[in-house]
Amino acid sequence: MTTATHRVLEIRGNADDVNLAQILIDQTIANQPKVEKVEINIPNSATGRVIGMGGENLRVMQTSSKCRIHVDRDGADAGDKNEASAPIRM
C-alpha cells in the first residue's frame, strides 16, 4: 500500500533473481545518505549579496557545499528592509 512516506515496489522474476534484487534494493536504501534540513533567516538587505549576480553566489555555495540552497522569494515582510528577513532552506 502506498502512503505518504512509502511506496510499493514490485519485483518479478525467478526466485533467485527476486532474492538478489531485494538484497540490492535493501543495500541501496541502507547506503543512502541522510539528508539534513536547516532553515536560517537572513536580513532582506543581505539577500541580494547571498544570491549574487544571476545567482552566481548561490551556485558557488551549492557547488562548494554539495548542498541545495533555496532562498524564499516571499520572505520579505512589509516595513523596513533591514528589519525583515528571508528564510533560506538548506
Written out in words, the top-level CATH class of the domain with range 39-89 is alpha beta
pLDDT digits over 45-66, tens only? Answer: 999 999 999 999 999 999 999 9
- How distant, in Å, are the alpha carbons of 1, 7, 17, 28 from that of 4? 10, 8, 29, 20
Please report, for the chain, the start and end positions of each structural domain, with discontinuous segments joined by +. 39-89
pLDDT digits over 34-46, tens only? Answer: 888 999 999 999 9
Q: Could you give the count of Cα atoms lying within 13 Å of 45 in the half-sphere of its Cβ? A: 6
CA 49 to chain centre: 22
- The number of beta carbons lying within 10 Å of the beta carbon of residue 14 is 7
pLDDT of residue 49: 94
- Calculate Rg over the CA atoms of the chain: 21
Give the pTM: 0.55
